[in-house]
Amino acid sequence: MDVVKTIEKKSPPEWSYLALLLVGWLTPAVFFVYAVHFLYEFDSYFHVHLAEIMSKHGLFLKEFPWVSESIWVSDWFDKEWLFHILLIPFLSLGRTEGTQLFILFLNILIVLALWYACRTLKRRPKAALFWLLILPWSCWGVFWVRLVMCRPHLLSIVILFLALGAMLRRKRLMLA
C-alpha cells in the first residue's frame, strides 16, 4: 500500500513548471538587457524612433520624410506596424528604459507561446521545462543576442508558435 502511494505521488502543478521556466529564461535576459545602458544594434534605435514618430504623428504614416534619400520618402509602408504599435506605450517610461522593459515583455510572450506549443504537442511539463530552458543556449549564446535586441523578429517568434499551436489544436479562429 505504501509503495502504491509513493508511486502515485502527485507531481507539482503545471503552472509551477511554467513559473520555473519564466525565471530560468528571464534571469539571463534581464542580465543581458540591463548589463549595458544602451540598446544593442543600431536598428533598435530606428524602431524606437519610428514608434516615437507614430505616437506624435499618428499610427498611419503616409510618407516618411525623415529618410530624404530613400525610396521610402513617398512610398512608405511599415511592414513592422504591429511591433511599433506595441512599443509605443512602453516609451512613456523613457527611450532606453521603456524599450528594455518592452524587450523583456516580448521575452515573456515568447516563453508563453513556446509553452503553449509544447503543451499542444503533449510534452510533459518537466520535459518542456528542460528543452525550453536549454533552447536559448543551444547556439552558443548567439540566440540570446537576438533575444535582447529591439527587433520585430521577437514578435514574429510569438506569432509563429501561437499559430503552430492553433493549427495543431484546429483552432481556426485563433489561427486567423
The residues of the chain scoring below 50 in pLDDT are none
d(CA 160, CA 8): 37
Instruction: Note the pLDDT tens digit of each residue in 94-114.
Output: 999 999 999 999 999 999 999
This prediction's pTM:
0.84
Instruction: Using CB atoms within 10 Å of the CB of residue 17, give its burial: 0 to 12 exposed, 13 to 18 middle, 19+ buried.
Output: buried
Instruction: Using CB atoms within 10 Å of the CB of residue 125, give its burial: 0 to 12 exposed, 13 to 18 middle, 19+ buried.
Output: buried
